[in-house]
Structure 1
């Protein structure tokens, strides 16, 4: 009984500590000093933060620059030049959970366990048509040419490459125009998809929280500091 009480106390303390750290990570900006605003003469590119209850993606406009930067993705079954494709939607996550849980109805114990511990990472890339704004799950940012170039480099550099070639995962995808690829880094519950998304936004000169493990905390941070 004493051991059980001790275990419960430690569990409560751990949960409290994580909640406290998440709160601090949300209200403390990263970087602490706001970047210098780009010249108003710079071209403006609109990017989107797409957020759900447990996952976030970044939507990048499919213009000539984006198509050129991601030409290595272009294929007959993934046509970057499709006339109805307006956005390249990219997300990062744990391999087991991402691949094996396309919906909550398909949740399995092993992928959940891997997500709570440590797992290899993957990138999920899809093509999207028109995305309606405004809506609660969409946050838009206008960035300059230089900021866009840095974002494109960050995302491109997140692909794991073997001898310079990206590593697609065979027969993996949720629909007809999305693909999975091996990615750099390892996934765990404390540093998961939303922390990658936050890093991508920071690469584009935007401010996030110091640590944003949840979509809700990232949305709050970017709303406050940008």
Structure 2
């Protein structure tokens, strides 16, 4: 028994070392500033979950053509200037309005079993002032790449429209059917990192934790 416990401690130490190195190691090193820094995008750290915030409309894309603004929240608002996108475990996100309501059974399933996913979309009339939000600038071409990544994360019906599951916890958000399965191997923050890499934004080697995303968030062009 002592040998088994000793081996488990060694395994735990090795895993902890690997995860720490991955947490602290960026995927890109050195100066990688793009020549074109025209679009500001934002990442909001919600504690255990990250949200990508993009402008509703600019010269490159109008989100209202893909997600009608008046259908996003209960308030049927068409004046949103920004949209926040977050991908995650469907059961967990629909049943967990705050960290105080976390269900351990749902959490266990989300971490250790491949489970259905959802996309949460939240509209903002003004940019949400929050110390936990960081901004980076990217090129127009990279902006289109991150837009296409997010669009392709939605499940669509036969007519090519997004599929709403339900309204969210506020008057300005909803949950939609999404592609892909959630697990500890592909978490909500891993999805955020994948989206950011499409836009050539730096991310950590191990991106499961939101704090790792925020630590390495860098496009070479700061806002």
What range is the shorter-chain TM-score in?
0.7 to 0.9
Q: Is this contact kept in 2: 1:125–1:178, CA < 8 A?
A: yes
Classify the secondary structure of the residue corresponding to 2:146: helix
Classify the secondary structure of the residue corresponding to 1:63: coil
Q: 1:215 aligns with which of 207, 210, 216?
A: 210
Q: TM-score, normalised by structure 1?
A: 0.82
Aligned match of 2:116: 120
Aligned match of 1:158: 153
**CA distances 1:76-128 after superposition (whole Å, capped 9, x unpaired):** 33279723x22100001111111111112322232112222121111110101
Q: Tell me how far apart the structure 2 counterparts of residues 188 and 35 of structure 1 sit (CA, whole Å).
A: 32
Shift of 1:70: 4.9
Q: 1:140 aligns with which of 123, 135, 138?
A: 135
Classify the secondary structure of the residue corresponding to 1:24: helix
* 1:179 corresponds to 2:189: no
Shift of 1:223: 5.1
Shift of 1:25: 1.9
Shift of 1:175: 1.4
Q: 1:103 aligns with which of 94, 98, 106?
A: 98
Q: Tell me how far apart the structure 2 counterparts of residues 81 and 52 of structure 1 sit (CA, whole Å).
A: 24
Residues 224, 110 of structure 1: alpha-carbon distance in 2 compared, 3 angstrom cutoff? same
Q: Is this contact kept in 2: 1:97–1:112, CA < 8 A?
A: yes
Q: Is this contact kept in 1: 2:83–2:124, CA < 8 A?
A: yes
Q: TM-score, normalised by structure 2?
A: 0.83
Q: Is this contact kept in 1: 2:202–2:218, CA < 8 A?
A: no
Instruction: State the superposition RMSD in angstroms.
Output: 2.8
Q: Is this contact kept in 2: 1:96–1:114, CA < 8 A?
A: no
Structure 2: unaligned runs, 5 residues or longer: none
Mean Cα deviation higher: 31-40 or 143-152: 31-40
Residues 190, 90 of structure 1: alpha-carbon distance in 2 compared, 3 angstrom cutoff? same
Shift of 1:31: 4.9
Classify the secondary structure of the residue corresponding to 1:122: strand
Q: 2:56 aligns with which of 59, 62, 65?
A: 62
**Matched pairs, number:** 217
Q: Is this contact kept in 2: 1:160–1:166, CA < 8 A?
A: yes
Q: Tell me how far apart the structure 1 counterparts of residues 148 and 219 of structure 2 sit (CA, whole Å).
A: 26
Classify the secondary structure of the residue corresponding to 1:73: coil
* 1:193 corresponds to 2:188: yes
Q: Tell me how far apart the structure 1 counterparts of residues 220 and 13 of structure 2 sit (CA, whole Å).
A: 26
